Structure 1
Amino acid sequence: MQPIRNSAGEQLDASFHDAEKSDCLVILGHGVTGNKDRPMLVELADALAESGYPCLRFSFSGNGESEGKFTDSNITKEVGDLTAVIDQLGTGKRIAYIGHSMGGAVGALTVARDERIKVLVSLAGMVRTADFTDREFGDVTPDDGLMWDEPDCPLSQSFVDDLHQIDNTLAAVAEVRVPWLLLHGLADDVVLPDDSRDLNKVLRGPSKLVEIEGAGHSFEGHYSVLATEVSEWLENHL
C-alpha cells in the first residue's frame, strides 16, 4: 500500500485488512485522543474482513503514529484526512465509512459533501459537538490544560473553536440519503445516547439505531454485537 498523505503532506498511519470483496472498501476512523489500533477497531476490522470486506484502519493526523501535531487536530482537519484517504484509495470502490465518537462526526460532515461514501456507520457518534467540548473540557484552559489529564493530548484553542463553530451535525446531514447504521451504548457518559437518537430522527435515507444495554463509550465486552450488526448492514446496503 502506498503512503497516504493529507493535503498538508502529512503521512497517515494505516493498516489494511485484505478480503475477497475487492470492489468494496470499509474505512474505520477513531475518536478524540484515539488511534487506529484501539481494540474495538482492530477486532471489528478483523471480523469484517472475515466476512469478506476489505478494511482500512487509519489514524487521523496528529494522532497515533500519523504525522502532524495533536494540537492541530480537530473535526474540520480530520474531514480533510478522510477525504485524502478516499482520494488515494477509493477509486472504483464502493466505500463504507465507520466512525467512532468524534470520528462519527467526521463521517457525518464528509458524507454530506462527498457522494463517494455509499454506507455510513456511527459508533457512539458525536453529534452535538459544542455540548461535548463544554461538558468534557469546560473546566480546562485551552492551550494550557489537557484532555482528560492525558499528557500527550493537550487541549488546543483551535479544537474548542472548531467544535463550537460546527455546534452540531444535524443540519449538515439533512439531505443525506445513504444507508446509515447507528450503534450506541446506553452506559455511554462521554457521547450521550441522545446524540444518536436525535440524529436518527432527522435522517431521510435507510437508517437503524441499535442501543446496547450496558455498553460504555468504547463498547468493551460488546464487540461481537458490533460485528454482527455492522456485517449485516454492509451485506444489505454496500
Structure 2
Amino acid sequence: MKKVQTFSFPMASHSFLSATLRLCDPPFIHLSSRPLLSFHLQTPKSLPRIHTGSSSSLDLLIAFSSGEIRGSESSLLSSIMNDSEKLAAFGGCFGDSIGRNDTQLNSYTEGTSQQRISIKNSVGENLVGILHEAGSDDLVILCHGFRSSKESKTIVNLAKALLEERFSVFCFDFAGNGESEGLFQYGNYRREVEDLRAVILYFQTQNRKVCAIAGHSKGGNVVLLYASVYNDIPRVINISGRFNLKRGIEDRLGKDYMRRIKENGFIDVKDKSGAFLYKVTEESLVDRLTTDMLTACHSIDQKCKVLTVHGSDDDIVPSEDAYEFANHIVTHKLHIIEGADHEYMTHQDQLAKLVPDFVKSDLKEDDSA
C-alpha cells in the first residue's frame, strides 16, 4: 500500500500550506495521467503577499501543481520567481533520482532502459546525460533551457512521450548546468552549440542515427544555431526559443545593465531575497548581444525540417518571436498552443504530442520518398 504523508509549510502571514505527498514509483511520471503530488492549498487573499524566501520554490511548486494558481496569478508568480526557483519548482524535483544513481536507473516506460553517460566537450569538460533506450536506432537529443537541466519538467515529459513512440532519447546538461562540469555563463550560445556538437559526434561514433534535436527556451536557440552551422541533423524542434536576443535582458539585469557592466566588468544577479545566483561578465553579455538569430535562420539548409512550438500566453518570450522564425526559415512548421505559458505548465500534454508527431510524420515522408 502506498505511503501517504502530510506536511504543512508557512507561506505568508497567518497562512499555511498543507500538502499530501503520494510516494510512488517510477520517478518519471506523465503528470496529466499519474500525478506525483496532490495538494490542498490555503493561500492568502492577496497574492503579492506570498513569501518568496528560501522556501518559495516549494510554495510555488505546490501552488502551481494544485491548479489553484492560473492566468494572471500565474504570470505574477512567474515574474517574482528567479530562474533557479523555477527550475526547482517546475522540474528539478521530478527527476532528481535519475542520473544520480549509477547502479539503479529505473525505466519509466515499459520495455526501455536507461544508461548514464559522460561525454567530453571540446574543452575537456564532462557533459553528463541519460540515454533512454527504446530499442530503436532513431535517437532524439533534448536540450534544456537557461539555468535549467535535463531534469526539467518539459524535458522529462518530452522524453517520456518520445519513448512511448519507441524513439530512444538522450537528455544532457550543458556545461556549467546540472551535473555537468564547467562554469555557468550567461550567454554561452556558441559554447552550448559546441557542447551539442560533442554529444552528436559521440553518438555518431556509436553508429547511432540522430534523427532530431529539440530544445526548450534557450535550448531552442541552441538547436537552431546548431542547424545553421552543421548540416547533419534532418529535424529540429524549437520550443519557445527567442528570436530577438536583445530583448529580455533588462528583465534579469535591470535597465542600466550596460552602464554597470562597463563600470565593473560584471553584474552579480541575485534573487528576491538578495542571495547570489550567478555572475554576468561583459564577455558573456556580448556573446548574447552578438548572437544573430536572423542570420542563423537564413543559414539553415532547406532540407532540414524545423518545427517551432510556442505558447500564446508566454510572458518570458513573446509569441511574436515564433512568427519571426516562421518567416525566415525555409522548411518550417509553426504551432501556437493557445493559453500556454513559457513553461507549458497546464499544456504539457499538447506539447508532448506535437513533438513525437512531428518526428514521426517526417520519418514517414522520408520512407515514402
Ranges in structure 1 where 5+ consecutive residues have no aligned partner: none
Aligned ranges 1:199-218 → 2 under 5 Å:
199-205=325-331, 207-218=332-343
**Contact 1:137–1:147 under 8 Å retained in 2:** no
Equivalent in the alignment of 2:296: 172
Amino acid in structure 2 at the alignment position of 1:189:
D
* Structure 1 residue 95 displacement after superposition: 2.8
* Structure 1 residue 73 displacement after superposition: 5.7
Distance 1:212 1:148 in 2: 30
Equivalent in the alignment of 2:30: none
Distance 1:147 1:26 in 2: 35
Alignment partner of 1:123 is 2:247: no
* Structure 1 residue 230 displacement after superposition: 0.7
Tell me the C-alpha RMSD between the 2 structures: 1.9
- After superposition, give the CA deviation of every residue in 1:74-100 in whole Å (9 maximum; x if it has no partner): 101101100010111134414311011
Distance 1:73 1:62 in 2: 12
Aligned ranges 1:53-92 → 2 under 5 Å:
53-71=167-185, 74-91=188-205, 92=207
Aligned ranges 1:135-174 → 2 under 5 Å:
135-139=251-255, 140=257, 141-142=260-261, 143-146=266-269, 151-166=276-291, 168-174=292-298
Instruction: Pick closer, same or farther for the CA change 1:162–1:175 going to 2, 3 Å.
Output: closer
Tell me the secondary structure at the aligned position of residue 117 of structure 1.
coil
Count of matched residue positions in the alignment of Structure 1 and Structure 2: 235
**Contact 1:136–1:190 under 8 Å retained in 2:** no
Tell me the secondary structure at the aligned position of residue 351 of structure 2.
helix
* Structure 1 residue 147 displacement after superposition: 6.5
Distance 1:174 1:129 in 2: 16
**Contact 1:145–1:155 under 8 Å retained in 2:** yes
Amino acid in structure 1 at the alignment position of 2:318:
L
After the TM superposition, which of the residue ranges 46-55 and 126-135 deviates more from structure 2?
126-135
Distance 1:147 1:73 in 2: 17
Tell me the secondary structure at the aligned position of residue 209 of structure 1.
strand
- After superposition, give the CA deviation of every residue in 1:173-206 in whole Å (9 maximum; x if it has no partner): 214221111110111111111111101011111x
- After superposition, give the CA deviation of every residue in 1:210-237 in whole Å (9 maximum; x if it has no partner): 1112211111121111111111100011
**Contact 2:228–2:296 under 8 Å retained in 1:** yes
Distance 1:13 1:42 in 2: 15
Equivalent in the alignment of 1:16: 131
Equivalent in the alignment of 1:31: 145
Amino acid in structure 1 at the alignment position of 2:120:
R
Distance 1:124 1:218 in 2: 9
* Structure 1 residue 138 displacement after superposition: 3.9
* Structure 1 residue 126 displacement after superposition: 1.7
Amino acid in structure 1 at the alignment position of 2:277:
D
Q: Which has the higher contact order (CA 8 A, sep 6+)?
A: 1
Amino acid in structure 2 at the alignment position of 1:200:
A
* Structure 1 residue 135 displacement after superposition: 4.8
* Structure 1 residue 159 displacement after superposition: 2.2
Equivalent in the alignment of 2:84: none
Distance 1:202 1:173 in 2: 6
Amino acid in structure 2 at the alignment position of 1:221:
T
- After superposition, give the CA deviation of every residue in 1:87-117 in whole Å (9 maximum; x if it has no partner): 1113441431101111111111110111211
Distance 2:254 2:269 in 1: 11
Indicate the structure with greater strand content. 2
Distance 1:126 1:153 in 2: 21
Equivalent of residue 232 in structure 1, options 331, 351, 357 = 357
Equivalent in the alignment of 2:316: 190
Q: What TM-score does the superposition give when structure 1 sets the normalisation length? A: 0.91
Runs of 4+ in 1 over 4 A off after TM superposition: 147-150
Ranges in structure 2 where 5+ consecutive residues have no aligned partner: 1-114, 364-369
**Contact 2:187–2:288 under 8 Å retained in 1:** no
Alignment partner of 1:7 is 2:122: yes
Amino acid in structure 1 at the alignment position of 2:136:
K
Instruction: Pick closer, same or farther for the CA change 1:230–1:83 going to 2, 3 Å.
Output: same
Distance 2:237 2:271 in 1: 26
Distance 2:163 2:220 in 1: 21
Q: What TM-score does the superposition give when structure 2 sets the normalisation length? A: 0.60
